[in-house]
């Protein structure tokens, strides 16, 4: 199948970027990243600079690959990352526009690569459980109701890819932050620090320059792990409870 690709090329954050148009001969069994590999092979053969893009596991679980394909983070397939998107989702002769995540808080590094360390700093601010040294206790020693465990697990499936920020018209990181807050707040091990955690993480999220959620819901629609915006409501409740309803302040 013949594909016309319009790819965002930008040397670095200082330089001005623009779209370059390429013709790629792909087949429908290729993943989108394999199709990008084919493009890069041909660019290298022509002694041109290949397109920089991030990838790691190519199994849909690491959250490294990130591209906005025809306006949609991770492309048109629901509940998958770019690496799990296959060319059979497109037609012969299609023109595909590929852009990087667009957010002030994710400064562009090169071409399709953005710096997502803002997410790391949000996690560092509170997305953990303090564990004292010593023997780990038996996992079943603390009873957790099945539904609660499942909700916490669903939130925990967030891979931190940043598609929520890329999809949100406000470049808000609330789905990401709320997934982490919600995952830990629902479990006994995480509840201990939940009041401090939610404030620390929200403060960090605000400091990073992400936008503010207006409940558009594009994040949950584009999330490759289909994290629900129920988590944002839970984070808001946690935040109100922590700031207004407790003496904790961070």
Partner 1 sequence: MSWVSKFLTSSIGRKLLMSLTGLFLVVFLVVHLIGNLQLMVADQGKAFNIYAEFMTTNPLIKTTSYGLYFFILLHAVQGIILWQKNRAARGTRYAVPNKVSSTFASRNMAWLGIIIFVFLVLHMGQFWFRMKMGDVPPVTYDGQTVKNLYAIVAEAFSQWWYVVIYVVSMIVIGFHLLHGFQSAFQTLGLNHRKYTPFIKGLGVIYSIIVPLAFAIIPLYFFFMIKS
Residues that bind partner 1 (CB under 8 A): 6, 8, 19, 68, 70-72, 97, 99, 102-105, 167, 169-172, 174, 202-203, 205-206, 209-218, 221-222, 229-230, 232-237, 239-240, 243-244, 249
Q: In the complex, what is the shortest distance from the CB of residue 121 to partner 1, in angstroms, rounded to a whole number?
A: 16
Kindly list the distances between the CA atom of residue 99 and the CA atoms of 40, 44, 138, 174, 175, in Å, as whole numbers in the listed order: 16, 21, 47, 22, 21
| Angstrom distance (rounded) from CA 239 to CA 190 | 15
Q: Which backbone phi and psi does 110 adopt, to 5 degrees?
A: -165, 140
Closest to partner 1 by CB, 25 or 207:
207
Q: In the complex, what is the shortest distance from the CB of residue 7 to partner 1, in angstroms, rounded to a whole number?
A: 11
| Angstrom distance (rounded) from CA 174 to CA 211 | 9
Closest to partner 1 by CB, 58 or 237:
237
Closest to partner 1 by CB, 57 or 79:
79
Strand 2-9, strand 95-99: pairing: parallel
Q: In the complex, what is the shortest distance from the CB of residue 189 to partner 1, in angstroms, rounded to a whole number?
A: 23
Closest to partner 1 by CB, 58 or 107:
107
CA angle 151, 244, 196 (to 5 degrees): 55
Retrieve residue 85's tokens: 């998107």
Helices 174-185 + 230-243 axis angle, to 10 = 70
- Residue reference for tokens 């069994």: 29
Closest to partner 1 by CB, 50 or 217:
217
Q: In the complex, what is the shortest distance from the CB of residue 201 to partner 1, in angstroms, rounded to a whole number?
A: 11
Q: In the complex, what is the shortest distance from the CB of residue 55 to partner 1, in angstroms, rounded to a whole number?
A: 21
CB-based burial of residue 249 (10 Å sphere; 0-12 exposed, 13-18 middle, 19+ buried)?
exposed
Q: In the complex, what is the shortest distance from the CB of residue 163 to partner 1, in angstroms, rounded to a whole number?
A: 10
Closest to partner 1 by CB, 159 or 229:
229
């Amino acid at each position: 199948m013949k594909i016309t690709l319009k790819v965002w090329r930008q040397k670095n954050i200082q330089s001005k970027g623009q779209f370059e148009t390429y013709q790629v001969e792909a087949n429908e069994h290729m993943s989108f990243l394999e199709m990008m590999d084919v493009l890069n092979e041909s660019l290298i053969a022509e002694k041109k600079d290949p397109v920089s893009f991030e990838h790691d596991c190519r199994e849909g679980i690491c959250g490294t690959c990130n591209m906005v394909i025809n306006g949609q983070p991770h492309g048109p397939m629901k509940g998958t990352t770019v690496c799990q998107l296959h060319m059979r989702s497109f037609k012969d002769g299609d023109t595909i526009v590929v852009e990087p995540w667009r957010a002030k808080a994710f400064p562009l590094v090169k071409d399709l690569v953005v710096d997502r360390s803002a997410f790391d700093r949000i996690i560092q601010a509170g997305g953990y459980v303090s564990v004292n040294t010593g023997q780990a206790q038996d996992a079943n020693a603390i009873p957790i109701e099945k539904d609660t465990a499942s909700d916490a697990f669903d939130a925990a499936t967030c891979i931190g890819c940043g598609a929520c920020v890329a999809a949100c018209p406000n470049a808000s990181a609330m789905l990401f932050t709320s997934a982490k807050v919600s995952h830990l707040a629902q479990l006994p091990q995480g509840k201990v620090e939940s009041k401090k955690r939610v404030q620390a993480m929200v403060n960090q999220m605000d400091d990073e320059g992400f936008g503010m959620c207006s409940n558009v819901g594009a994040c949950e629609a584009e999330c490759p792990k289909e994290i629900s915006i129920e988590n944002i409501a839970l984070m808001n409740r946690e935040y109100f409870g922590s700031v207004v309803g407790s003496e904790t302040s961070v």
